[in-house]
Structure 1
């Protein structure tokens, strides 16, 4: 049994309904921070296990699980005396594979006959009268005390994790939560590997430690002094080891590696050990679904290579969902498995037309992820254009590079349309900076299907067509590329100073800049002298500052 798709409503960053389909094998979630990658993994694991951050959610209900804009809208409307339904969270996981009558029915938001489970956090009607009294006063928070969890199969039967044949294990190797110096995540993994007899044995051994501790003369002296001098209570006061619960040892014992406390070893080694333990313990062996949160954290390239091989080898028969920012992970596990997330929209490289998909499969993946993970992207024709756009941005932004503000300038040569197909599908804000090459109409026609309307794609070019008599060899010189436009915006005298040249004719400078494109771009990028930029370059810099 595998996951076919998940529906998520109003959970954390997801406002309204979000649906995501999955492959039966490997699925790679890629998106910027706040795109919802981690939330998707958490939602799936919650609906299958009832656990969030390793704890049963029934005891951990919080307003902050709900989408914040949804909650704020509810509070505003209620306080204005307007009707507004209480917010709810719904997570539905649809299954595919062997039939299971106990899970099959139309008890889902789509009313379709399917196999799956529904996990809903909603208002408990038993508190209706109390709630109606409450909203007569001003609300500042969601009345979470009136909420309940409804966990059912699509057959509308109440379920628990035991009832669900599809088991999941969530591996978050980046998590470093400590309690009394012990890493909670690794402690839980080790606990899961122990049977009941072993747990009882370690609990008894831990109690013996208390007896030995309390018999120490120094401890006896301390407790006697506390009782003799303390006015805290009429009752006996003493220090001891925590044995308030039968499982107190879980949060008190520390894991060591080669005599070094676990939390003192390198972060990369921690990631590898946690993941290997999680993949090896019995719950992982039982699990059909492996959820992995950013496996690249703290790992060198060579360690990451070894790490990815181990994941794929150990989970070859399982369904895997991985979130990542790393192009190597994406490429290693297959770009055909890539799911791109942006603004609650999704696309897959495999959904693109075959020629575009083949194009991106041949790339190392770096440029693809740069486009996806940026706040905004500026696509330019070449490395020289990239340097000039970055320098123009720095001029008006206190010397900051665009990337410092989440804006990535990417050289795509003449493959603009390949990148724009992705940008359009995920609604990414993208600017195309290009030469007009003496034919504005052809340029407008080329990009017509990507711009206009509510498109987030804009094009920037010089609408003026320049001409001249210069020839280089047998070819007419193109006066409508970046270098001639830069020279036109400045002066021959200024560029002679920047380039340390001594040309008297404009066309001589044109020839110099054409034959030394990269050197000229570097000198313009590094110069402290004043440089003016063509209008279309200024316009794209203004676009960067728009919301």
Structure 2
């Protein structure tokens, strides 16, 4: 049993209808800040648990969970005398799997015969007269939440379902947030409770009741209660302090989880995240098909701990559905880019059908900044640090001192993995530019990039290189010098006197300058980047920075 699709209407950042399809195993949602990643996770958890910000929705209902634009339009219409119905929130979760026939029907926004549940927050018609009277006197300045109703129902139109009868349970794990601090222990205690058999729960409850008896028989407590009785009359009834036992499951509220004698909510956030995730992954009631919702697992975790967490997630992804939001390339690469969902302008793009080699490459060499390319407006891909610095300087000279990133363009060092990144860029139709050396063999370069050149040219991908092959007599030891990399091309454009001034050198022999620039690539690139002098750049660099 798993969630195949979710429909969100007018909840927080989503105006109108937004649909997201989910896979059975791992789903990785990435996007810029405010793209709606957290809202998706909140919507799923709210519908499955009734909890918002760790508290029950009935106690947390506010107009601020409604889409701001929708609320503003509604209030503007009322001010203009246009009679509008108050906006609603609808969250629908479509379920696939076995033993869900009782949730099957066409009671969903698509009117399709599907299995699922819906949560609707909408105006309650029984308040229609009061609402109309309020409109007449112009008394509505904000969303009339007091006239709203919260309704859970199945697609079979059963309005009597409860959180307990919903077949899929959710576990929300957010290591970055402090808002669940008080609820963190409740969360972990609930998971531990679900590991217990019925007879074990009865035993705990009885033991908890015995605690009251021990508490009340303690001499110091007896003394305090006697003192209360002798004090000025508080009430006609007996007043005394005791242990809370008013509800059947009172023990749950007082259950405290300890790690090495330290209360759970006092341990580090990273350790909390790992323990919660492991408990959720190892939940013995696998048939309940829990969905695990992970908010930015990279927060508060060292590289080693994050690697451990990802390993645990991958191990259990066959029998659990997992939805992760992240800003970490490491997390995305390690869990598999094929599971990635890019959220952009409330639309989704998937990285389906990546080649097996590319998926394995990024998984095994997970330090590559794939998300930098995926999330930027345009990517300029270069081989190394020195190329990155030179391209940025050329861009700044052409754009009044603005760095590329200030215009949404990211210059990214990718080593020799250009084709891997281009495959990802092509799938996403991402604007990507490759800046590369010709290394003295233009034909080999054209063969390497034949998929993106001439007749095969893609409108989103551009390959920039110098098509002139330079040569000379310089040898370093016994190896012939390569005149067709970035450094000799810059020296060729500017001449030795300009380079001497930039580097603070006094070379008279151009070969000595070649040797210096080859041996000190990054240092030379830094001096070029910081130089106040005018610098000429090779044409293929200039081609790369043109909009």
Change beyond 3 A, Cα 1:306–1:367: closer
Secondary structure, aligned partner of 1:321 = strand
Deviation at 1:144, TM superposition (A): 1.9
**TM-score by structure 2 length?**
0.74
Change (3 A) 1:310 1:363: closer
Distance change (3 Å), C-alpha of 1:444 and 1:511: farther
Q: Do structure 1's residue 23 and structure 2's residue 23 form an aligned pair?
A: yes
Hey, what's the Cα distance between the residues in 2 that align with 1:156 and 1:181?
A: 32
User: Per-residue deviation at 1:342?
Assistant: 2.8
CA distance in 2, matches of 1:364, 1:444: 29
Q: Secondary structure at the match of 1:317?
A: coil
Contact preservation (8 Å) 2:181, 2:265:
no
Deviation at 1:218, TM superposition (A): 8.7
Aligned partners of 2:167 and 2:288 also within 8 Å: no
Greater mean deviation of Cα atoms: 34-43 or 416-425: 416-425
1:425-455: per-residue Cα shift (whole Å, max 9, x none)? 6586x574748999xxx9996897435xxxx
Q: Report the equivalent of 1:141.
A: 142
Query: What is the aligned counterpart of 1:524 among 499, 507, 528?
Result: 528
2:446 corresponds to: none
1:386 deviation in Å? 1.0
Of residues 314-323 and 240-249 in structure 1, the stretch that sits farther from structure 2 once superposed is: 240-249
| 1:300 and 2:302 are equivalent in the alignment | yes
Equivalent pair of 1:171/1:290 in contact (CA under 8 Å): no
In 2, are the aligned partners of 1:384 and 1:521 still within 8 Å (CA)? yes
Greater displacement, 415-424 / 89-98 = 415-424
Per the TM alignment, residue 288 of structure 1 is displaced from its structure 2 partner at its CA by: 0.6
Which runs of structure 2 are paired with 1:285-434 in the superposition (5 Å)? 285-293=286-294, 294-314=296-316, 316-352=318-354, 364=366, 366-373=368-375, 377-380=379-382, 382-390=384-392, 408-412=410-414, 419=421, 422=424, 432=433, 434=435
Deviation at 1:44, TM superposition (A): 2.3
C-alpha distance in 1, partners of 2:79/2:52? 31
Q: 1:241 to 1:74 in 2, by over 3 A?
A: farther
CA distance in 2: counterparts of 1:330 and 1:394, whole angstroms:
31
Matches within 5 A, 1:416-495: 419=421, 422=424, 432=433, 434=435, 449-450=458-459, 471-473=471-473, 484=489, 493-495=497-499
Q: Which SS does the other structure have where 1:161 is aligned? A: coil
Which residue is equivalent to 1:107? Answer: 107
**How big is each residue's C-alpha offset from its partner over 1:37-59, in whole Å with a ceiling of 9 and x where there is no partner?**
33223322333343334443234
CA distance in 1, matches of 2:467, 2:308: 56
Aligned partner of 1:454 in structure 2 is: none
Asked whether the 8 Å contact 1:223–1:239 carries over to 2, the reply is yes
In 2, Cα distance between the equivalents of 1:227 and 1:409?
Answer: 77
Q: Deviations over 1:185-223 (max 9, x none)?
A: 334444555655356436535544764689459957997
Does the 8 Å CA contact 1:177/1:184 hold for their aligned counterparts?
no
Structure 1 residue 521 displacement after superposition: 0.9
Give the C-alpha shift of residue 291 in structure 1: 1.4
**1:127 paired to 2:136:** no
For residues 364-414 of structure 1, the C-alpha deviation after alignment (integer angstroms, 9 at most, x for no partner) is: 363212223557754445432312345678999999987799874312467
**Aligned 1:29-40 pairs, distance under 5 A:** 29-40=29-40
8 Å contact 1:203–1:249 — kept in the other structure? yes
Structure 2 stretches lacking a partner, 5+ long = 443-449, 475-479
| Separation in 1, partners of 2:251, 2:399 | 55
Moved more, 306-315 or 339-348: 306-315
Which has the higher mean CA deviation after the structures are superposed, 37-46 or 374-383? 374-383
Q: Secondary structure at the match of 1:387?
A: helix
Taking a change above 3 Å as real, the CA distance of residues 171 and 145 of structure 1, as seen in their structure-2 partners, is same
> How many residue pairs get matched?
523
The answer to whether the 8 A contact 1:420-1:450 is kept is no
**CA-to-aligned-CA distance 1:217-265 (integer Å, 9 cap, x gap):** 995799799969xxxx999999957849546665566433222233333
- Find the aligned partners of 1:172 and 1:66 in 2 and give their Cα distance: 22
CA RMSD of aligned residues (A): 5.1
Distance in 2 between residues matched to 1:124 and 1:55, nearest whole Å:
22
Cα distance in 1 for partners of 2:213, 2:181 equals 22
Cα 1:511–1:259 change in 2 (3 A) is closer
| TM-score normalized with structure 1 length | 0.74
**Residue aligning to 2:447:** none
CA deviation after TM superposition for structure 1 residue 92, in Å: 1.9
